[in-house]
Structure 1
């Protein structure tokens, strides 16, 4: 099925977020509140994949020409024009959550997110997202997202167009985005089988980048509640997710059956490593580190 044209851009019109362009490569987006369904059953913590969903919404707003009535249309680094003729696929994510964000007493609204260009290459870029409280400016979450520009025809990475480089090429850096995978332990993994549902799909008709974190987190929860792991336990769930790193390797789609495999890290007592596979082919690498009781 062909994706709806400009779906990512058009969604922004319905969000009612307020954006402020601080620079051509830096945008602030004010978020009124976090949706009810984002909170886990305790009513305290926010399910971590909803944090990524929030950042995805911020990207829609910052990239969109429909997010407000300004004339002429404007977006972060003119991404609204880029998305008229190209796809932007996320290939890597790192996210760090500050301990207070898991506390009940920490106010969860209002929030604002600052999006800032961190790295720009020939076909890829990294944007960093800082989620802060609107009144105190306290930092709650930092997230780096690396994506690649993809041709709508070949579905392969492609260079930024000449017109865009003439305008923003001075921001290209020599530094490259770095992705690191922790070696998999030799012991047998724990496995969960899941099916990709319609609620897991993004505007490109692929599995949404945040859905993979949900797959891993829920698999981890299932194995923790059955005391399957040797070190990881229910206390880690109560303490909350501290950080995660994700590398997207192959796409998956609606109806696909995926195998979520997990291992306790050999290098860190509070970390779990995941591979998500489709037909024995790795689609995603992920590691999740949890706060321990003494942090």
Structure 2
């Protein structure tokens, strides 16, 4: 976690969630697990963890009450209100061992967020997730977003206000993360098909970025359970995730049919690679690395029966 001093502090409670606004560009968000957060291994699933972080990145959900309190985080998507919005290009979440070593049933988590990089048309936001009661770090994440004109879908210059108001010592990155190099997809890689539904879409009318991650997770679990992988033989929920990286390359909307290819990295143990396509267009790439010797998958002899 990065500790700094900021002028001003606001506290508000929204539906049992606590926001601590240290400034317009750095604040914390505290909550417990939500309904349906936990997977079959009683852990907050990776995509639900991403939902928690997204809630923080966008600020509280009452725009009338919070748009003035959190101007840097509240992006109205109506064309009549604003024609510019931040679209995520790349995310990376690093899951620390402590995340897998405690119960998630009543885990109170705190997300500390700050702007860490400002470019011409893009910016980075860093997040640290920790146990709110013990202060123990659990997850580190970085988001690389691009300021995009809502109508033209072209990059747009960042507001000058951000450069004036975000302190220089808060910018902990000299450049945005560059993503990853994806190995060549084997000819016989496992292919998973899914359709974008209305429940998967967000207020921008396209599939929410956390659902992209869920699609890949489902593809990996299906490949493992059908014996298509050499190092994974059951649902991914029973393996301890170490790091996930996702490169967003295209938008998908309700009704789109997606193909998600899954294969094992040829030179990195316990790493899965994914390519998501819509027709001939690649709309996303993902890599997931898992800790070796995940004991949780060995707890039951009836794991597959629970799927």
TM > 0.5 between the two? yes
Kept in 1: contact 2:221–2:235 (CA 8 A): no
User: CA, structure 1 residues 137+164, in 2 after alignment: closer, same or farther (shift >3 Å)?
Assistant: closer
- The alignment partner of 2:59 has SS state of helix
- The alignment partner of 1:49 has SS state of helix
Equivalence map 1:1-295=2 (5 Å): 15-31=15-31, 33-42=32-41, 44-61=42-59, 66=64, 73-75=68-70, 78-80=72-74, 84-85=81-82, 86-103=84-101, 105=103, 108-168=106-166, 174-234=174-234, 237-293=237-293
Counting matched residue pairs gives: 278
- The alignment partner of 1:37 has SS state of coil
Partner of 1:8: none
Kept in 1: contact 2:33–2:107 (CA 8 A): yes
The C-alpha deviation readout for 1:181-204, integer Å capped at 9, x for no partner, is: 222244421101100111111110
The C-alpha deviation readout for 1:67-98, integer Å capped at 9, x for no partner, is: 65xxx92226x344787522111110000112
User: CA, structure 1 residues 67+35, in 2 after alignment: closer, same or farther (shift >3 Å)?
Assistant: farther
Kept in 2: contact 1:246–1:284 (CA 8 A): yes
Distance (Å, rounded) in 1 between the aligned partners of 2:161 and 2:115: 19
Partner of 1:3: none
- Unpaired runs of 5+ residues, structure 2, are 1-11, 296-307
The C-alpha deviation readout for 1:116-145, integer Å capped at 9, x for no partner, is: 122111111111111111110011111111
User: CA, structure 1 residues 117+168, in 2 after alignment: closer, same or farther (shift >3 Å)?
Assistant: closer
Distance (Å, rounded) in 2 between the aligned partners of 1:257 and 1:294: 33
Q: How many Å apart are 1:22 and its aligned residue?
A: 2.5
TM-score by length of 1: 0.84
The C-alpha deviation readout for 1:197-224, integer Å capped at 9, x for no partner, is: 1111111001110001100001111111
- The alignment partner of 1:87 has SS state of strand
- The alignment partner of 1:38 has SS state of coil
Kept in 1: contact 2:224–2:235 (CA 8 A): no
Kept in 1: contact 2:75–2:86 (CA 8 A): no
- The alignment partner of 2:192 has SS state of strand
TM-score by length of 2: 0.81
User: CA, structure 1 residues 249+132, in 2 after alignment: closer, same or farther (shift >3 Å)?
Assistant: same
Q: How many Å apart are 1:66 and its aligned residue?
A: 4.5
- The alignment partner of 2:203 has SS state of coil
User: CA, structure 1 residues 13+249, in 2 after alignment: closer, same or farther (shift >3 Å)?
Assistant: farther
Distance (Å, rounded) in 1 between the aligned partners of 2:263 and 2:51: 26
The C-alpha deviation readout for 1:25-60, integer Å capped at 9, x for no partner, is: 3211111x1112011123x21211100011111112
Distance (Å, rounded) in 1 between the aligned partners of 2:176 and 2:98: 32
